[in-house]
Amino acid sequence: MPREPKNRLGNDAAADLWQHTLCHIPTVFGRLVYLASLRDPVTGKYEHHGLALMFGREESSKALKKSHVRAFREWLLFNLEEQKADLDLFLSSVLKEKPDAVRFWSTAKNYRSFVPSAATAPERKLFASNLEAMLGLLKNEYGVFVADRGE
């Protein structure tokens, strides 16, 4: 089967994704959330209609997966202070009521879905522990009370 052609500007799918989408998301955490949202929860395949039209489904899925892993690892490389600042900026850019998100993430723990499938067990553990630490700080900062559900 012939390889999918590059777009008319000569970019590959990952470069196009960065140029037209990811560079406009101001936080690494925001990129991570966005890319995780493009992963089908049943198949694990990434889907982006526009990218697939230009590069084909397989090529666009590979670019999205690669970008997801890159954003995830970039966020893990931040120290805790940088992670908190990036998370604060993300929350400020998408929500009017940050305490609601902090409360929801603290109880539902849906942030685990932000982790790419290619992440190693230590990376998953580090991400969860760091994000839980950030949520703990934010709960105190915003005066959010979350009842302990015995987990």
Q: What is the pLDDT of residues 77-111, one digit of tens each?
A: 999 999 999 999 999 888 778 888 888 888 888 89
Instruction: Give the per-residue pLDDT at 149.
Output: 55
Q: What is the pTM of this model?
A: 0.86
- The contacts of residue 124 (CB under 8 Å, 6+ apart) are 115
Average pLDDT score over residue span 43-55: 95
Tell me if 24 sits within 8 A of 30, measured CB to CB: no
Instruction: Give the per-residue pLDDT at 134.
Output: 92
